[in-house]
Amino acid sequence: MASGLSSRVISRNITRTIRGPWNFVAGKRCLPVDSSGSMKVIEPASGELLCGVPISGTEEVNRAVGVAKGVFATWSKLSGREGGEKLLRAGQIIRENLEDISRLEVQDTGKPIWEARLDITSCPDALEYYGGLAPCIVGQHVPLPGGSFAMVQKEPLGVIGGVGAWNFPMQTCIWKVAPALACGNTFVYKPSQFTPVTAVTLGEVLADAGVPDGVYNVVQGEGQTGAYLCEHPDVAKLSFTGSVPTGTKVMTAGAQDIKSVTLELGGKSPLIIFPDADVKNAVKATLMANFLSQGQVCSNGTRVFVHRSIAAEFLKQLVTATEKLKIGDPFAEDTTVGATIHEDHARKVLSYVDSARQEGATVLCGGERVLLKGKLAGGWYLSPAVLTDCRDDMKVVQEEVFGSVASVLEFDTEEEAVKRANDTKFGLAGAVFTKDIQRGHRVANAIEAGTVWINTYNLYPTEVPFGGYKQSGIGRENGLTAVDYFTQTRTIYVEMGDVDCGLLYQD
Protein backbone atom coordinates (compact mmCIF):
# COMPACT_ATOMS: atom_id res chain seq x y z
CA MET A 1 0.00 0.00 0.00
CA ALA A 2 1.53 3.30 -1.07
CA SER A 3 0.37 5.48 1.79
CA GLY A 4 0.23 2.91 4.58
CA LEU A 5 -2.49 5.02 6.16
CA SER A 6 -5.05 2.33 6.63
CA SER A 7 -2.57 -0.38 7.54
CA ARG A 8 -1.84 -1.02 11.20
CA VAL A 9 1.46 0.31 12.42
CA ILE A 10 3.46 -2.77 13.30
CA SER A 11 6.86 -1.47 14.30
CA ARG A 12 7.09 -0.60 17.99
CA ASN A 13 10.39 0.97 18.96
CA ILE A 14 9.09 3.17 21.72
CA THR A 15 10.97 3.11 25.03
CA ARG A 16 8.34 2.60 27.71
CA THR A 17 10.50 3.08 30.79
CA ILE A 18 12.56 6.00 32.07
CA ARG A 19 15.81 5.16 30.36
CA GLY A 20 18.50 7.06 28.44
CA PRO A 21 20.38 7.95 26.42
CA TRP A 22 18.43 11.18 26.34
CA ASN A 23 19.46 13.01 23.20
CA PHE A 24 17.90 12.09 19.88
CA VAL A 25 20.00 13.00 16.87
CA ALA A 26 20.10 11.53 13.37
CA GLY A 27 17.23 9.15 14.06
CA LYS A 28 18.37 7.55 17.30
CA ARG A 29 18.85 8.03 21.00
CA CYS A 30 22.44 9.02 21.75
CA LEU A 31 24.80 10.59 24.22
CA PRO A 32 25.92 14.14 23.51
CA VAL A 33 29.36 14.47 21.91
CA ASP A 34 30.22 17.08 24.53
CA SER A 35 28.69 17.79 27.88
CA SER A 36 29.06 20.26 30.71
CA GLY A 37 27.78 17.90 33.39
CA SER A 38 24.59 16.08 34.23
CA MET A 39 21.13 17.26 35.31
CA LYS A 40 19.40 15.47 38.16
CA VAL A 41 15.79 15.11 37.09
CA ILE A 42 13.46 14.69 40.06
CA GLU A 43 10.21 12.74 39.89
CA PRO A 44 7.64 15.24 41.19
CA ALA A 45 5.37 12.57 42.73
CA SER A 46 8.05 11.22 45.06
CA GLY A 47 10.73 13.90 45.16
CA GLU A 48 13.20 11.14 44.27
CA LEU A 49 15.70 10.99 41.43
CA LEU A 50 14.01 10.01 38.17
CA CYS A 51 17.09 10.07 35.96
CA GLY A 52 20.36 11.82 35.28
CA VAL A 53 20.59 13.56 31.93
CA PRO A 54 23.83 14.86 30.36
CA ILE A 55 23.82 18.56 29.56
CA SER A 56 24.57 19.09 25.88
CA GLY A 57 27.37 21.49 25.01
CA THR A 58 28.06 23.59 21.93
CA GLU A 59 29.49 20.68 19.92
CA GLU A 60 26.37 18.61 20.43
CA VAL A 61 24.13 21.53 19.48
CA ASN A 62 26.31 22.07 16.38
CA ARG A 63 26.00 18.39 15.53
CA ALA A 64 22.20 18.34 15.88
CA VAL A 65 21.75 21.54 13.88
CA GLY A 66 24.18 20.22 11.25
CA VAL A 67 22.23 16.98 10.92
CA ALA A 68 18.93 18.88 10.64
CA LYS A 69 20.46 21.20 8.06
CA GLY A 70 21.84 18.25 6.09
CA VAL A 71 18.49 16.53 5.71
CA PHE A 72 16.55 19.73 5.02
CA ALA A 73 17.06 19.49 1.26
CA THR A 74 15.53 16.00 1.18
CA TRP A 75 12.65 16.63 3.58
CA SER A 76 11.66 19.98 2.11
CA LYS A 77 11.51 18.48 -1.39
CA LEU A 78 8.85 15.92 -0.45
CA SER A 79 5.37 16.82 -1.59
CA GLY A 80 2.98 17.86 1.15
CA ARG A 81 1.17 14.59 0.73
CA GLU A 82 4.34 12.50 1.16
CA GLY A 83 5.44 14.36 4.30
CA GLY A 84 1.90 14.64 5.65
CA GLU A 85 1.33 10.90 5.47
CA LYS A 86 4.25 10.33 7.81
CA LEU A 87 2.79 12.76 10.35
CA LEU A 88 -0.58 11.01 10.10
CA ARG A 89 1.15 7.71 10.77
CA ALA A 90 2.97 9.23 13.77
CA GLY A 91 -0.39 10.32 15.15
CA GLN A 92 -1.68 6.78 14.77
CA ILE A 93 1.36 5.38 16.62
CA ILE A 94 0.79 7.74 19.56
CA ARG A 95 -2.89 6.77 19.72
CA GLU A 96 -1.95 3.09 19.81
CA ASN A 97 0.59 3.73 22.60
CA LEU A 98 -1.40 6.36 24.43
CA GLU A 99 -1.43 4.71 27.84
CA ASP A 100 2.31 4.02 27.97
CA ILE A 101 3.21 7.52 26.81
CA SER A 102 0.72 9.07 29.25
CA ARG A 103 2.36 7.16 32.08
CA LEU A 104 5.80 8.47 31.08
CA GLU A 105 4.32 11.98 31.16
CA VAL A 106 2.95 11.41 34.67
CA GLN A 107 6.36 10.29 35.94
CA ASP A 108 7.95 13.36 34.38
CA THR A 109 5.37 15.99 35.46
CA GLY A 110 3.49 14.67 38.51
CA LYS A 111 0.13 15.49 36.91
CA PRO A 112 -2.84 13.11 37.38
CA ILE A 113 -3.03 10.26 34.88
CA TRP A 114 -6.43 11.28 33.48
CA GLU A 115 -5.04 14.71 32.64
CA ALA A 116 -1.92 13.20 31.06
CA ARG A 117 -4.17 11.06 28.83
CA LEU A 118 -5.95 14.22 27.65
CA ASP A 119 -2.63 16.00 27.01
CA ILE A 120 -1.21 13.08 25.06
CA THR A 121 -4.42 12.71 23.05
CA SER A 122 -3.95 16.30 21.90
CA CYS A 123 -0.61 15.24 20.34
CA PRO A 124 -2.05 12.99 17.60
CA ASP A 125 -4.74 15.65 17.17
CA ALA A 126 -1.99 18.07 16.10
CA LEU A 127 -0.02 15.54 14.03
CA GLU A 128 -3.17 14.52 12.16
CA TYR A 129 -4.37 18.08 11.66
CA TYR A 130 -1.07 19.24 10.16
CA GLY A 131 -0.44 15.93 8.40
CA GLY A 132 -3.80 16.32 6.67
CA LEU A 133 -3.17 19.99 5.99
CA ALA A 134 0.29 19.51 4.48
CA PRO A 135 -0.90 18.83 0.90
CA CYS A 136 -3.02 22.01 1.10
CA ILE A 137 -0.05 24.27 1.90
CA VAL A 138 0.16 25.68 -1.58
CA GLY A 139 0.90 28.99 -3.23
CA GLN A 140 -1.00 31.29 -5.56
CA HIS A 141 -1.02 32.13 -9.22
CA VAL A 142 -1.48 35.87 -9.74
CA PRO A 143 -2.44 37.07 -13.26
CA LEU A 144 -0.77 40.40 -14.23
CA PRO A 145 -1.22 42.81 -17.17
CA GLY A 146 -0.23 41.64 -20.67
CA GLY A 147 -0.43 37.94 -19.84
CA SER A 148 2.45 38.14 -17.37
CA PHE A 149 1.90 36.42 -14.05
CA ALA A 150 3.43 35.72 -10.68
CA MET A 151 3.72 32.51 -8.72
CA VAL A 152 3.63 33.02 -4.97
CA GLN A 153 5.21 30.07 -3.20
CA LYS A 154 5.05 29.01 0.43
CA GLU A 155 8.58 27.91 1.30
CA PRO A 156 9.91 26.32 4.48
CA LEU A 157 12.33 28.37 6.56
CA GLY A 158 15.03 25.75 7.25
CA VAL A 159 16.11 24.42 10.64
CA ILE A 160 13.74 25.42 13.46
CA GLY A 161 15.11 25.72 17.01
CA GLY A 162 12.44 24.89 19.58
CA VAL A 163 12.69 25.42 23.35
CA GLY A 164 9.92 24.30 25.69
CA ALA A 165 8.50 24.55 29.21
CA TRP A 166 7.75 21.73 31.66
CA ASN A 167 4.01 21.83 32.20
CA PHE A 168 2.83 20.08 28.99
CA PRO A 169 6.10 18.53 27.77
CA MET A 170 4.96 16.48 24.79
CA GLN A 171 2.09 18.73 23.77
CA THR A 172 4.27 21.86 23.80
CA CYS A 173 6.81 20.08 21.62
CA ILE A 174 4.28 18.71 19.13
CA TRP A 175 2.45 22.03 18.79
CA LYS A 176 5.72 23.28 17.28
CA VAL A 177 7.02 20.19 15.52
CA ALA A 178 3.81 19.14 13.73
CA PRO A 179 3.26 22.41 11.79
CA ALA A 180 7.00 22.95 11.30
CA LEU A 181 7.49 19.55 9.67
CA ALA A 182 4.25 19.82 7.69
CA CYS A 183 5.66 23.02 6.16
CA GLY A 184 8.90 21.23 5.16
CA ASN A 185 11.21 22.43 7.94
CA THR A 186 13.52 20.31 10.06
CA PHE A 187 13.78 20.65 13.83
CA VAL A 188 16.07 20.69 16.86
CA TYR A 189 14.22 20.77 20.18
CA LYS A 190 15.47 21.48 23.68
CA PRO A 191 12.97 20.32 26.30
CA SER A 192 12.77 21.82 29.76
CA GLN A 193 15.46 20.46 32.07
CA PHE A 194 12.66 19.39 34.44
CA THR A 195 10.83 17.20 31.90
CA PRO A 196 13.21 15.61 29.40
CA VAL A 197 11.35 12.36 28.72
CA THR A 198 8.58 12.54 26.12
CA ALA A 199 10.31 14.78 23.58
CA VAL A 200 12.63 11.80 23.05
CA THR A 201 9.62 9.48 22.81
CA LEU A 202 8.40 11.70 19.99
CA GLY A 203 11.70 11.07 18.18
CA GLU A 204 11.06 7.32 18.37
CA VAL A 205 7.48 7.77 17.17
CA LEU A 206 8.52 9.89 14.18
CA ALA A 207 11.28 7.43 13.27
CA ASP A 208 8.74 4.58 13.44
CA ALA A 209 6.43 6.57 11.20
CA GLY A 210 9.10 6.86 8.51
CA VAL A 211 10.23 10.44 9.07
CA PRO A 212 13.83 10.49 7.78
CA ASP A 213 16.68 10.48 10.28
CA GLY A 214 17.69 13.97 11.33
CA VAL A 215 14.41 15.72 10.51
CA TYR A 216 13.62 15.88 14.24
CA ASN A 217 16.35 16.02 16.90
CA VAL A 218 16.47 16.55 20.65
CA VAL A 219 19.29 18.08 22.66
CA GLN A 220 18.90 18.07 26.44
CA GLY A 221 20.16 20.71 28.80
CA GLU A 222 19.41 23.78 30.85
CA GLY A 223 19.23 27.43 29.83
CA GLN A 224 22.75 27.50 28.41
CA THR A 225 22.00 24.68 25.96
CA GLY A 226 18.85 26.55 24.92
CA ALA A 227 20.94 29.68 24.43
CA TYR A 228 23.43 27.82 22.19
CA LEU A 229 20.55 26.63 20.06
CA CYS A 230 18.95 30.08 19.84
CA GLU A 231 22.26 31.71 18.91
CA HIS A 232 23.17 29.13 16.27
CA PRO A 233 23.64 30.86 12.89
CA ASP A 234 22.18 27.90 10.97
CA VAL A 235 18.89 27.99 12.88
CA ALA A 236 16.38 29.93 10.79
CA LYS A 237 13.61 30.39 13.32
CA LEU A 238 13.06 30.15 17.07
CA SER A 239 9.87 28.77 18.55
CA PHE A 240 9.78 29.22 22.31
CA THR A 241 7.38 28.41 25.14
CA GLY A 242 8.25 29.64 28.59
CA SER A 243 8.42 32.69 30.82
CA VAL A 244 8.57 36.33 29.77
CA PRO A 245 12.15 36.91 31.04
CA THR A 246 13.47 33.93 29.06
CA GLY A 247 11.35 34.89 26.06
CA THR A 248 13.12 38.26 26.11
CA LYS A 249 16.49 36.48 25.96
CA VAL A 250 15.33 34.24 23.12
CA MET A 251 14.11 37.24 21.15
CA THR A 252 17.39 39.05 21.79
CA ALA A 253 19.33 36.00 20.55
CA GLY A 254 17.14 35.83 17.46
CA ALA A 255 17.71 39.52 16.75
CA GLN A 256 21.44 38.90 16.13
CA ASP A 257 20.76 37.06 12.87
CA ILE A 258 17.27 38.49 12.18
CA LYS A 259 15.66 35.13 12.92
CA SER A 260 11.91 34.79 12.89
CA VAL A 261 10.66 34.26 16.46
CA THR A 262 7.44 32.86 17.91
CA LEU A 263 6.97 33.27 21.65
CA GLU A 264 4.32 31.59 23.80
CA LEU A 265 4.74 33.20 27.20
CA GLY A 266 2.97 33.64 30.51
CA GLY A 267 -0.37 35.06 31.48
CA LYS A 268 -2.59 36.47 34.21
CA SER A 269 -5.90 35.98 32.52
CA PRO A 270 -9.30 37.32 33.63
CA LEU A 271 -12.45 35.24 34.00
CA ILE A 272 -15.48 37.54 34.24
CA ILE A 273 -18.72 36.16 35.66
CA PHE A 274 -21.89 38.22 35.22
CA PRO A 275 -24.98 37.91 37.44
CA ASP A 276 -27.00 36.08 34.77
CA ALA A 277 -24.35 33.35 34.39
CA ASP A 278 -25.10 29.73 35.12
CA VAL A 279 -23.28 29.60 38.46
CA LYS A 280 -22.64 25.87 38.38
CA ASN A 281 -21.00 26.12 34.96
CA ALA A 282 -19.05 29.18 36.10
CA VAL A 283 -17.76 27.19 39.09
CA LYS A 284 -16.77 24.27 36.85
CA ALA A 285 -14.95 26.64 34.50
CA THR A 286 -13.20 28.32 37.43
CA LEU A 287 -11.87 24.91 38.51
CA MET A 288 -10.65 24.27 34.95
CA ALA A 289 -9.21 27.77 34.77
CA ASN A 290 -7.22 27.41 37.97
CA PHE A 291 -6.60 23.87 39.14
CA LEU A 292 -5.75 21.69 36.14
CA SER A 293 -2.13 20.51 36.18
CA GLN A 294 -1.71 21.87 39.72
CA GLY A 295 -2.44 25.34 38.33
CA GLN A 296 0.68 25.21 36.15
CA VAL A 297 -1.08 26.36 33.00
CA CYS A 298 -0.11 29.49 31.08
CA SER A 299 -3.65 30.46 30.07
CA ASN A 300 -5.14 30.07 33.55
CA GLY A 301 -7.89 32.50 34.54
CA THR A 302 -6.44 33.32 37.93
CA ARG A 303 -8.18 36.69 38.24
CA VAL A 304 -11.77 35.64 38.76
CA PHE A 305 -14.00 38.74 38.52
CA VAL A 306 -17.44 37.98 39.96
CA HIS A 307 -20.38 40.36 40.00
CA ARG A 308 -20.93 41.50 43.57
CA SER A 309 -24.59 40.38 43.55
CA ILE A 310 -23.66 36.69 43.10
CA ALA A 311 -20.25 36.67 44.78
CA ALA A 312 -21.39 35.03 48.03
CA GLU A 313 -23.24 32.18 46.29
CA PHE A 314 -20.43 31.70 43.75
CA LEU A 315 -17.77 31.54 46.47
CA LYS A 316 -19.81 29.08 48.52
CA GLN A 317 -20.12 26.72 45.55
CA LEU A 318 -16.49 27.24 44.46
CA VAL A 319 -15.06 26.48 47.90
CA THR A 320 -17.27 23.37 48.25
CA ALA A 321 -16.10 22.08 44.85
CA THR A 322 -12.45 22.93 45.56
CA GLU A 323 -12.45 21.15 48.90
CA LYS A 324 -13.74 18.00 47.14
CA LEU A 325 -10.65 17.83 44.90
CA LYS A 326 -8.64 14.75 45.72
CA ILE A 327 -4.95 15.30 46.35
CA GLY A 328 -2.97 12.12 45.89
CA ASP A 329 -0.95 9.66 43.86
CA PRO A 330 -0.87 10.95 40.26
CA PHE A 331 -1.33 7.36 39.06
CA ALA A 332 -4.56 6.85 41.03
CA GLU A 333 -7.58 7.13 38.74
CA ASP A 334 -9.53 9.35 41.13
CA THR A 335 -6.74 11.83 41.90
CA THR A 336 -7.53 15.36 40.77
CA VAL A 337 -4.51 17.17 42.26
CA GLY A 338 -1.06 15.71 41.67
CA ALA A 339 2.40 16.94 42.60
CA THR A 340 3.88 20.38 41.95
CA ILE A 341 6.80 20.17 39.51
CA HIS A 342 9.49 20.67 42.17
CA GLU A 343 10.13 21.97 45.67
CA ASP A 344 11.40 25.42 44.69
CA HIS A 345 8.34 26.05 42.56
CA ALA A 346 6.00 24.80 45.32
CA ARG A 347 7.65 27.15 47.81
CA LYS A 348 7.21 30.01 45.36
CA VAL A 349 3.50 29.22 44.98
CA LEU A 350 3.07 29.09 48.78
CA SER A 351 4.90 32.42 49.12
CA TYR A 352 2.23 34.03 46.92
CA VAL A 353 -0.46 32.80 49.33
CA ASP A 354 1.53 34.25 52.25
CA SER A 355 1.97 37.59 50.51
CA ALA A 356 -1.75 37.69 49.70
CA ARG A 357 -2.58 37.12 53.36
CA GLN A 358 -0.17 39.86 54.42
CA GLU A 359 -1.77 42.26 51.94
CA GLY A 360 -5.23 41.60 53.39
CA ALA A 361 -6.69 38.75 51.33
CA THR A 362 -8.68 35.99 53.01
CA VAL A 363 -7.71 32.40 52.22
CA LEU A 364 -11.05 30.57 52.06
CA CYS A 365 -9.43 27.20 51.48
CA GLY A 366 -6.14 25.53 50.55
CA GLY A 367 -2.77 27.13 50.07
CA GLU A 368 -0.89 24.57 52.15
CA ARG A 369 1.48 21.68 51.61
CA VAL A 370 -0.22 18.30 52.02
CA LEU A 371 2.10 15.54 53.19
CA LEU A 372 1.38 12.17 51.63
CA LYS A 373 2.66 8.88 52.93
CA GLY A 374 5.08 6.20 51.76
CA LYS A 375 6.85 6.74 48.47
CA LEU A 376 4.94 10.01 47.91
CA ALA A 377 6.25 11.60 51.12
CA GLY A 378 8.93 13.59 49.29
CA GLY A 379 6.53 15.09 46.72
CA TRP A 380 5.24 18.63 46.96
CA TYR A 381 1.45 18.41 47.00
CA LEU A 382 -0.39 21.70 47.50
CA SER A 383 -4.05 22.13 48.35
CA PRO A 384 -5.74 24.38 45.76
CA ALA A 385 -6.35 27.85 47.18
CA VAL A 386 -9.31 30.19 46.81
CA LEU A 387 -8.61 33.77 47.90
CA THR A 388 -11.17 36.48 48.47
CA ASP A 389 -11.02 40.10 49.68
CA CYS A 390 -8.49 40.59 46.89
CA ARG A 391 -7.50 43.93 45.35
CA ASP A 392 -6.08 44.56 41.88
CA ASP A 393 -2.84 45.95 43.28
CA MET A 394 -1.93 42.82 45.30
CA LYS A 395 1.14 40.89 44.20
CA VAL A 396 -0.90 37.69 43.82
CA VAL A 397 -3.31 39.49 41.48
CA GLN A 398 -0.58 41.20 39.45
CA GLU A 399 1.94 38.39 38.90
CA GLU A 400 1.76 34.97 37.29
CA VAL A 401 1.75 32.44 40.16
CA PHE A 402 1.74 29.31 37.96
CA GLY A 403 0.14 27.31 40.75
CA SER A 404 -3.32 26.51 42.13
CA VAL A 405 -4.20 29.93 43.52
CA ALA A 406 -7.47 31.55 42.39
CA SER A 407 -7.94 35.21 43.32
CA VAL A 408 -11.61 36.21 43.42
CA LEU A 409 -12.34 39.90 42.81
CA GLU A 410 -15.78 41.53 42.91
CA PHE A 411 -17.11 44.08 40.41
CA ASP A 412 -20.24 46.18 39.89
CA THR A 413 -20.42 47.19 36.21
CA GLU A 414 -19.45 45.70 32.86
CA GLU A 415 -17.32 48.71 32.01
CA GLU A 416 -15.42 48.40 35.28
CA ALA A 417 -14.87 44.64 34.81
CA VAL A 418 -13.43 45.08 31.31
CA LYS A 419 -11.17 47.94 32.39
CA ARG A 420 -9.79 45.96 35.31
CA ALA A 421 -9.48 42.76 33.24
CA ASN A 422 -7.28 44.59 30.74
CA ASP A 423 -5.16 46.29 33.38
CA THR A 424 -2.26 43.81 32.97
CA LYS A 425 0.91 43.50 30.95
CA PHE A 426 -0.24 40.02 29.86
CA GLY A 427 -2.83 39.10 27.23
CA LEU A 428 -2.84 35.36 26.71
CA ALA A 429 -6.47 34.49 27.43
CA GLY A 430 -9.71 35.45 29.14
CA ALA A 431 -13.34 34.42 29.49
CA VAL A 432 -16.79 35.79 30.02
CA PHE A 433 -19.71 33.96 31.61
CA THR A 434 -23.19 35.28 30.77
CA LYS A 435 -26.42 34.11 29.15
CA ASP A 436 -26.76 37.49 27.39
CA ILE A 437 -25.43 36.87 23.87
CA GLN A 438 -24.81 40.57 23.15
CA ARG A 439 -22.93 41.06 26.39
CA GLY A 440 -20.91 37.91 25.80
CA HIS A 441 -19.67 39.09 22.43
CA ARG A 442 -19.24 42.71 23.52
CA VAL A 443 -17.03 41.73 26.45
CA ALA A 444 -15.15 39.05 24.47
CA ASN A 445 -14.31 41.69 21.87
CA ALA A 446 -13.14 44.11 24.55
CA ILE A 447 -10.76 41.71 26.30
CA GLU A 448 -7.19 42.27 25.13
CA ALA A 449 -6.12 38.65 24.74
CA GLY A 450 -5.28 36.07 22.10
CA THR A 451 -8.02 33.66 23.17
CA VAL A 452 -11.34 34.53 24.82
CA TRP A 453 -13.80 31.83 25.81
CA ILE A 454 -17.51 32.52 26.21
CA ASN A 455 -19.09 30.23 28.82
CA THR A 456 -16.16 27.80 29.09
CA TYR A 457 -12.40 27.80 29.79
CA ASN A 458 -9.03 26.27 28.87
CA LEU A 459 -10.05 24.36 25.75
CA TYR A 460 -7.51 24.35 22.90
CA PRO A 461 -8.61 22.40 19.84
CA THR A 462 -5.77 22.16 17.33
CA GLU A 463 -7.99 23.82 14.73
CA VAL A 464 -7.93 27.24 16.40
CA PRO A 465 -4.95 29.56 16.87
CA PHE A 466 -3.43 30.03 20.31
CA GLY A 467 -1.05 32.76 21.45
CA GLY A 468 -0.79 36.02 23.28
CA TYR A 469 -1.34 39.75 23.05
CA LYS A 470 1.03 42.15 24.82
CA GLN A 471 3.80 40.43 26.83
CA SER A 472 2.15 37.02 26.50
CA GLY A 473 3.87 36.48 23.20
CA ILE A 474 4.35 36.94 19.50
CA GLY A 475 2.91 34.72 16.79
CA ARG A 476 0.39 31.91 17.05
CA GLU A 477 0.44 28.15 17.36
CA ASN A 478 -2.29 25.82 16.07
CA GLY A 479 -4.86 26.42 13.36
CA LEU A 480 -4.18 27.47 9.79
CA THR A 481 -2.37 30.54 11.10
CA ALA A 482 0.61 28.47 12.31
CA VAL A 483 1.54 27.79 8.68
CA ASP A 484 2.36 31.48 8.26
CA TYR A 485 4.85 31.24 11.13
CA PHE A 486 6.71 28.25 9.68
CA THR A 487 6.91 29.40 6.06
CA GLN A 488 8.29 32.26 4.04
CA THR A 489 6.92 33.56 0.77
CA ARG A 490 8.78 33.55 -2.52
CA THR A 491 7.31 35.42 -5.47
CA ILE A 492 8.38 34.45 -8.98
CA TYR A 493 7.38 37.08 -11.53
CA VAL A 494 7.13 35.84 -15.13
CA GLU A 495 7.30 38.46 -17.89
CA MET A 496 5.43 37.33 -21.03
CA GLY A 497 6.09 40.43 -23.13
CA ASP A 498 9.02 42.74 -23.84
CA VAL A 499 10.81 44.50 -21.03
CA ASP A 500 9.28 47.95 -20.45
CA CYS A 501 11.98 50.14 -18.91
CA GLY A 502 10.45 53.52 -19.64
CA LEU A 503 12.87 56.11 -21.04
CA LEU A 504 15.95 54.17 -19.97
CA TYR A 505 16.34 52.44 -23.32
CA GLN A 506 16.17 54.30 -26.72
CA ASP A 507 16.21 52.37 -30.05
Q: What 8-state DSSP symbol labels residue 467? A: -
How many C-beta neighbours within 10 Å does residue 6 have?
7
The interaxial angle of helices 437-446 and 414-421, nearest 10 deg, is: 30
Q: How far is the CB of 61 from ligand NAI (least distance, A)?
A: 11
How many C-beta neighbours within 10 Å does residue 250 have?
26
Q: In whole angstroms, give the CA distance from residue 29 to residue 13.
A: 11
Q: What angle do CA 472, 478, 479 make, to 5 degrees?
A: 125
User: Which C-beta is closer to ligand NAI: that of 186 or that of 302?
Assistant: 302
Q: What 8-state DSSP symbol labels residue 327? A: B
| Contacts to ligand NAI by CB under 6 A | 163-167, 190, 192-193, 222-223, 226-227, 230, 241-243, 246, 249-250, 264-267, 298, 400, 402, 428, 473
Residue nearest to ligand NAI (CB): 226
Q: Which of 60, 85, 128, 264 is catalytic?
A: 264
Q: How far is the CB of 437 from ligand NAI (least distance, A)?
A: 29
User: Which C-beta is closer to ligand NAI: that of 89 or that of 476?
Assistant: 476
In sequence order, which residues have a C-beta less than 8 Å from that of residue 502 and are 6 or more positions away? none
Q: How far is the CB of 143 from ligand NAI (least distance, A)?
A: 41
How many C-beta neighbours within 10 Å does residue 168 have?
28
In sequence order, which residues have a C-beta less than 8 Å from that of residue 194 and are 6 or more positions away? 41, 42, 166, 341, 342
User: Which C-beta is closer to ligand NAI: that of 298 or that of 356?
Assistant: 298
Q: How far is the CB of 153 from ligand NAI (least distance, A)?
A: 30
Residue 123 three-state SS: helix
Residue 468 near residue 450, CB atoms below 8 Å: yes
User: Which C-beta is closer to ligand NAI: that of 101 or that of 428?
Assistant: 428
User: Which C-beta is closer to ligand NAI: that of 185 or that of 471?
Assistant: 471
Q: In whole angstroms, give the CA distance from residue 473 to residue 27.
A: 32
Alpha-helical (H) ranges within 36-188 are 58-77, 80-96, 98-109, 113-133, 169-182
User: Which C-beta is closer to ligand NAI: that of 168 or that of 314?
Assistant: 168
Considering just the CA atoms, what is the radius of gyration of the chain in Å?
Answer: 24
Cα 39 to Cα 50, 55, 56, 215, 394, distances in angstroms? 11, 6, 10, 26, 36
Beta-bridge partners for 473: 264
Residue 189 near residue 165, CB atoms below 8 Å: no
Residue 115 known to be catalytic: no
Look at residues 140, 158, 157 and name the one whose alpha carbon lies nearest to residue 149.
140
Q: How far is the CB of 377 from ligand NAI (least distance, A)?
A: 25
Q: How far is the CB of 471 from ligand NAI (least distance, A)?
A: 10
Q: How far is the CB of 429 from ligand NAI (least distance, A)?
A: 9
User: Which C-beta is closer to ligand NAI: that of 165 or that of 200?
Assistant: 165
Catalytic residues, by residue number, are 264
